[in-house]
Amino acid sequence: MDSKSISSVANLPTKYGDFKIQSFKEGNKEHLAIFKEPFGELPLVRVHSECLTGDVLGSLKCDCGEQLQKALELIAKEGGLIIYHRQEGRNIGLFNKVNAYALQDKGLDTIEANHQLGFNADERTYDVVVDILNHFGIKKLKLLTNNPKKLEVLEGFEIVERVPLVIEANEKNRDYLKVKKEQMGHLL
């Protein structure tokens, strides 16, 4: 990653605690590292995929917003790093995600809706995540995730522990969480 693709480090005080932020460019995408030092020997790391509807609007269709809040709370206490990975809607983008939601309104599940739009269930890539972890000199870590695929994509790192993010299902996201668990292998 060349230095033009890496921003300065700035302070970001939040209601969860005081963090530092740094942005990383990947083509026309701008990702964010939100971190609290010291990392300690075994930093707690969360790779959070952008979900505007869940993270910002409080959508009950998914568990992203709650997962992000929990990760911020934990990392404010323990130290560590959140990579805010700007691949909205499992990387189909916001526009297509809204179309996928419209298909879900007609009864398709999250995977069927993606397929109908011509996408895979999951279009995410993780190259920039690897670059960001390398930038911070992280080799060994504890990963905050329910998604076993994220353990695979980070196979070049020593993941000493998987820390689950347990979110209570609600009436609106119960079916979505069920698909995540039963068809996408999430450990919920």
Task: Catalytic residue, from 90, 105, 124, 175: name it.
Answer: 124
Which parts of 27-56 interact with Zn ion (CB under 5 A)? 51, 54
Edge-first strand order for the sheet with 18-26 is 10-13, 18-26, 29-36, 80-85, 44-49, 140-144, 158-163
Cβ proximity to Zn ion: between 64 and 132 the closer is: 64
- Per-residue DSSP letter, 134: H
Smallest distance, Zn ion to C-beta of residue 142, A: 23
62 binds Zn ion (CB under 5 A): yes
Site string for Zn ion, 110-149 (x = CB under 5 A): ----------------------------------------
Report H helices in the chain. Answer: 52-55, 64-78, 88-91, 93-105, 110-116, 127-135, 148-153, 174-183
Q: Is the peptide bond before 38 cis (omega within 30 degrees of 0)?
A: yes
Choose, from 109, 122, 131, 175, the residue flagged as catalytic: 122
Binding site for Zn ion (CB under 5 A): 51, 54, 62, 64
Q: Which residues belong to the active site?
A: 122, 124
